[in-house]
């Protein structure tokens, strides 16, 4: 697991931060540990507000003194720098914005210790003269087979501020998804997401150890048996869009985990519509989900910045097929 360490956190709440949940306040204040580690410390009574143990749901007030002992573990080995290509949309001394390719793993983990975006960016930063930090600061992630725009922090200021923007949803992420079936109206899905009780690699709509999840969507193009949706997140749960689209009966085309390649379930979604399902599935071998647009406030200048990642070739091919069939 690595070497156990303790980080001492001490902050006085400002009026601007009043009203935040205690766990969120610590996280966005640059504690430098994960939400899970913060919540564990709170449960163990290692977080105090004005000298008293408090719950994660406590809403902080201006003037509160927050003190915490936060345990974390140093990785047992260094990230291996590797040469490789990333599609860079923008870069300065604080941030790097990339267009992540489908199939690319973001961060080293079990089964993927090398060949990840972090390995490549680590190599890039090591060879960049004057770079403030050498490890790329991952503040949000995309699933392995989801493509699109990501921002990574290059300075300590950027990592802290971008993490805060992601947590408070000041940063806005907009996705494009091609789903099975006709979606005629815009809508919102509000359904809690937690780990699947049987298939642990999956997420599911459940009330057991779940977190609230809210997804907004609106149709951009409606085809006879599919819809191009614009999707935005009010929360950021694992597999959120994929789970929510399956939940409302419109799984993402090509999704191998959440019914997007299950011909039997797709047939039920289409309700007798004579669609070339198997032909469509040959056009894309992953979920048709793309992080299209990201809006952030630059952590140093405060300037609002918007980045757009163009549709990848497989989703473009899929949409062209659907458009051609619709005209025919």
Strands 65-74 and 3-12: antiparallel
Q: Which helix (H) or strand (E) holds 263?
A: helix 263-270
Structure letter (DSSP) for residue 145: T
Q: For position 156, which CATH number holds?
A: 3.30.2350.10
Boundaries of domain holding 112: 77-164
Pair 259, 206 in one domain: yes
* Number of structural domains in the chain: 3
**CATH number, domain containing residue 22:** 3.10.290.10
Which residues are identified as catalytic? 143
Give the pLDDT of residue 288.
Answer: 98
The verdict on residue 169 lying in a domain is no
Q: Residue for token digits 């793993």?
A: 105
Domain-terminating residue out of 74, 96, 131: 74
Residue 303 lies in a domain: no
pLDDT surpasses 50 at 1? no
- Residue 193 domain flag: yes
Handedness of CA 150, 155, 158, 163 (dihedral sign): positive
- The pLDDT score that the predictor gives to residue 131 is 67
263/322 same-domain check? yes
Residue 323 domain flag: yes
* pLDDT digit string, tens, across residues 92-130: 999 999 999 999 999 877 666 788 999 999 998 888 776
- The answer on 88 and 62 residing in a single domain is no
| pLDDT tens readout for residues 28-47 | 887 777 788 899 999 999 99
In-domain check, residue 311: no
């Amino acid at each position: 697991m690595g070497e156990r360490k303790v980080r001492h956190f001490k902050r006085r709440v400002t009026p601007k931060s009043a009203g935040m949940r205690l766990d969120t306040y610590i996280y966005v204040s640059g504690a430098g540990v994960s939400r899970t580690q913060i919540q564990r410390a709170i449960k163990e009574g290692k977080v105090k507000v004005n000298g008293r143990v408090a719950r994660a749901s406590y809403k902080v007030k201006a003037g509160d003194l927050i003190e915490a002992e936060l345990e974390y573990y140093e990785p047992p080995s260094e990230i291996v720098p590797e040469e490789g290509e990333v599609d860079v949309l923008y870069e300065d001394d604080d941030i790097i914005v990339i267009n992540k390719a489908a199939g690319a793993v973001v961060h080293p983990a079990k089964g993927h210790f090398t060949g990840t975006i972090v390995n490549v960016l680590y190599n890039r930063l090591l060879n960049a003269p004057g770079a403030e930090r050498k490890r790329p600061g991952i503040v949000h992630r995309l699933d392995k087979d989801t493509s699109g725009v990501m921002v990574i922090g290059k300075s300590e200021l950027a990592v802290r501020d971008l993490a805060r923007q992601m947590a408070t949803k000041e940063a806005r992420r907009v996705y494009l998804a091609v789903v099975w079936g006709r979606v005629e109206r815009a809508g919102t899905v509000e359904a809690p997401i937690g780990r699947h009780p049987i298939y642990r690699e999956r997420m599911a709509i459940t009330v057991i150890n779940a977190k609230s999840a809210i997804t907004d969507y609106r149709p951009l193009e409606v085809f006879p048996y599919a819809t191009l949706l614009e999707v935005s997140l009010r929360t950021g749960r694992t597999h959120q869009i994929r789970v929510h689209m399956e939940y409302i009966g419109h799984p993402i085309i090509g999704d191998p985990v959440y019914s997007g390649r299950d011909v039997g379930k797709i047939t039920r979604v289409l309700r007798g519509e004579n669609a070339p399902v198997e032909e469509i599935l040959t056009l894309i071998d992953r979920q048709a989900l793309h992080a299209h647009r990201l809006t952030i406030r630059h952590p140093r200048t405060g300037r609002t910045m918007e980045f757009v990642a163009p549709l990848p070739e497989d989703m473009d091919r899929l949409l062209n097929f659907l458009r051609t069939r619709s005209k025919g």
